[in-house]
A and B are shown apart, each in its own frame.
Chain A
């Protein structure tokens, strides 16, 4: 991978591939060498001298390829500023010019070192052939690089868009119920109403804030605790949450807003539908390099988790874990019908700063 997901702000605006990156240069060299092989194969009368001919073609084409990469690396920023389609036309012209210069240089060199560089074509024909072949190859190569960088970019963009869209989505059901509770408390218990407003504000701030960033376990657990306090006002004795997280290193990093939405799911789909309520269990374990957090809740008999909200929150968390950790993190669901658990397992990273 040429671009790590977090260092991607600049990358997402670029439309020319990054020719300074080793990956891109490798692809360019690979294409160049394939073209050299193709040209050598296509030459009709040199069965015995295949390798010699290939070496010669490679020499020319690799020079061109590497110089092109250097030029593109140097002038990328300038070319980008010209706008998308112009940037491509300009790059194409610059590369063609480069090719023309190199072809002319080779021809001149062949006059001086006829033993070393043999060119059978007349001057103008050689130049014309070189330019024609190179323009096709350059156009194809640029198209290929453009599409593959576009594809990578779209994946990152899509993920980011989805994250921000979903993060903005605090469950309306929760918001309006909380407001109703606060309206009620304003009369019966103004002090508690005050605290509820403060808690709700903190929660909203957390929801609006960290879009896709990672946060410390400490602050993530705080957000979840605030959420629990608000729900507790509404559900009273029906809700209890057991926090078994003493094992976890509080400075460890976790994608923000992962525990809170899972706690929300556990309450919305589990506790709220149990006539006598129940206990949500948040348990944390650690081993060598991984942390594991399990959020589990009892489920009312016959209740099925088919609701959109639950799937969406889970999919969101899965996606963000994948983005942050690749295949090193897992989000597992255990559903026995009477109990439901989500198990997050992710690498133990700490904030160095």
Chain B
């Protein structure tokens, strides 16, 4: 089994490496110190198992696991954690692989044996229940074989395009695998649904304006949609959502 070790603290990585080398049953393909590195290395090295620290700066362990899920053949994830009061119970309940620090050899081996693939649903519930405050800060787009992380702060809107959801962000557009419904739930605080197929970042809305045919549409800051081919259809606020959009814009 190919194992990737992820922890932002060097002594913690050293410890895992020592234990794995002692047992000799697994091949260590690399060490990563943060979420971005983990995603890049998982793409290039395709490990079978990722030993993943939960509390890391930037993209934390749970968000990283989320993004790993988007890979073609996602690695199994075993979380490592020193102590997250709320998380432990959630882990137990869902039989998700985890080891507690200080890591015990037997416990690590058992976890590696039982390592299983996590579903996005489980991760969502974990983040929600475990209160590790892991609302994602990025969404993950797959371009060919590579994963690209798009900071949520740079996204102006999502719209559903038949099968895929398209992310419109400051550097262009990308397709992602998430459903609009789950995105709406996850980012409810900062995004608002304007019609059945579009979710707009509240902060990026400049104003609402009337179209010549009496509909209301969203005008974005920076005016990117003037360049779009068909702006009118994309950002028309449906009658059903109009009241909510107005309320959210007023800060409600």
Contact = CB atoms under 8 A, between A and B. Distances in A.
B82 interface: yes
Q: Would you call the interface of chain B mostly helix, strand, loop, or mixed?
A: loop
Contacts of B58: 275, 300
A187 to B, nearest CB: 5
B82 A180 contact: yes
Q: Would you call the interface of chain A mostly helix, strand, loop, or mixed?
A: helix
A184 B55 contact: no
Contacts of A181: 9, 11-12
A185 interface: yes
Contact residue range for chain B?
Answer: 20 to 34
B9 A234 contact: yes
A179 B9 contact: no
A233 B82 contact: no
Interface string A243-280: 00000000000000000000000000000111100000
Interface in A77-113: none
Nearest to A308: B85
A184 B11 contact: yes
A187 B21 CA distance: 13
Contacts of A187: 14-15, 18
A172 B58 CA distance: 22
Nearest to B103: A180
Given A234-B9, A235-B9, A275-B34, A180 B57 contact: no
A265 to B, nearest CB: 15
A122 interface: no
A273 B8 CA distance: 10
Interface of A: 172-173, 175-177, 179-185, 187-188, 233-236, 272-275, 300, 302, 306
Given A173-B82, A177-B12, 15 more contacts: A173-B83, A176-B83, A177-B82, A179-B102, A181-B9, A182-B102, A183-B102, A184-B14, A187-B15, A233-B11, A234-B9, A272-B57, A275-B57, A275-B58, A306-B133
22 contacts: A172-B85, A176-B100, A177-B9, A177-B12, A177-B83, A180-B82, A180-B103, A181-B11, A183-B102, A183-B103, A184-B11, A184-B12, A185-B11, A234-B9, A234-B11, A234-B12, A235-B9, A236-B9, A236-B10, A273-B57, A300-B57, A306-B133
